[in-house]
Structure 1
Amino acid sequence: MTLRLSVYRAPWRAHIAEVATQTPGLLPVVKGNGYGLGQATLMPIAAELSGTIAIGSVHELAGVPGDVTPLVLTPALLAPGRQDAIMT
């Protein structure tokens, strides 16, 4: 059985913008498969909302735009590939 998710982009983006405006200090989270939408789709949207984006692990650092500070949620023994990454 297949589940297909359709997102109406304009209303969804408007909702995201409204929530972001009403939520000071919002920290977008883009991890794993991007909640089914894909990291490549969500990362630029998250970057519009904040200068910091939370990601799941150091293995996802490559997908974070260079002008955004990544916050890595999963502890890691190895140093990340980016010096600006915030490790938790």
Structure 2
Amino acid sequence: MAHPFANPFPIIGSQYCTPSEQEIVLVFLTLANGDFVVADVNGSIKFIAKEVRRTLAPNLRIIHDVAGNPIVTMKPKVQANIDSCL
């Protein structure tokens, strides 16, 4: 396990932080659409990730809290293949 920081700094919000580390699991709802939930090892749902289909950006996902409020939008990192340019 990673060592905890002395002074943790929340990226999204302190309401999503816990005082100690937690083990989590990803549960895919269906393999067809890529939606999944993030739960702890006891099965308590922490976050819900839903894929947005009606956009020009593929693989765009919105992470929601348990109440259904959108928290953050995620998209894959674009990487350039430098070797193909040389």
User: Is TM more than 0.5 here?
Assistant: no
User: Which structure has more strand as a fraction of its residues?
Assistant: 2
TM-score (norm 1): 0.24
User: Which structure has more helix as a fraction of its residues?
Assistant: 1
TM-score (norm 2): 0.24
Q: Which protein has the larger Cα radius of gyration, Structure 1 or Structure 2?
A: 2
